Amino acid sequence: MRSQSKNNAGFTLIELMVTVAIAAVIMGVAIPSFTDLIARNRMTANANELITALNLARSEAVKRGMSVTVRKVDNKSSTKKSNGANWEDGWDVFTDVDDDGEFDAGNDQLIRTYSALKKGYTLRGNQNFVNSIRYEADGTSSNIGSFVTCEGGNIVGAKLIIVNMIGRVRLGADADTNLIPEKEATATKPAADITSCTDITGF
């Protein structure tokens, strides 16, 4: 009689448990990393949206030969919201005939409105840009300063947007690659990590 060998096509319980354990470890590492990646990409998109608005305002100021303001939506913008609004609630770009940083119906013209950021993300201007930034007819900025966007108040992965006096906009550097952007160096202070993305004195 010929004997027949049978192949075991299934998994043993131990093999199955090892496979599940390995999968759990991989998922535990991959999911937080993927979540962080999504958040960083969202903050980059938020920063780019503001940079686009600032460049639009600068371009329109030069083209029209008059001041153009970018203002967070509040009760002095074209899009009326309460005084408690912040930049993450959206912002307007408009002509600013009397250079007061406020939208005056009948005199100023709304150029574009930008919608609010996704919930959980903040966008704040420092003490020079708490409410608005104005571009003059020659393309220069009314002031120097910066904006910062982050998720949940966490400075890790935040994006810093810096505006210089001639109106140019750039992202803040991260020279030490610790995922925290650095404030602009001054004559008396070297470049240093921002310390907050919600307190205007921290960036």
Q: What is the CATH number of the domain that holds 137?
A: 3.55.40.10
* 5 within a domain of the structure (yes/no): no
Q: Calculate the dihedral angle through the C-alpha atoms of 8, 10, 16, 18, rounding to the nearest 10 degrees.
A: 40
Note the pLDDT tens digit of each residue in 146-181.
999 999 999 999 999 999 989 999 999 999 999 999
In a domain, 193, yes or no: yes
pTM: 0.81
Residue 174, domain extent:
13-202
Q: How many percent of the chain have pLDDT more than 90? A: 68
Long-range contacts from 171-175, C-beta under 8 angstroms, 24+ separation: 171/47, 171/51, 172/146
Question: In this structure, is residue 50 part of a structural domain?
Answer: yes
Q: Is residue 2 part of a domain?
A: no
pLDDT one-digit tens code per residue, 70-98: 999 998 898 888 777 899 999 999 999 99
As a whole number, mean pLDDT of residues 121-128 equals: 96
Residue 72 lies in a domain: yes
Q: How many domains in the chain?
A: 1
User: How much is the pLDDT for 37?
Assistant: 79
Q: What is the pLDDT of residues 15-57, one digit of tens each?
A: 777 777 777 676 666 555 667 778 788 899 999 999 999 999 9
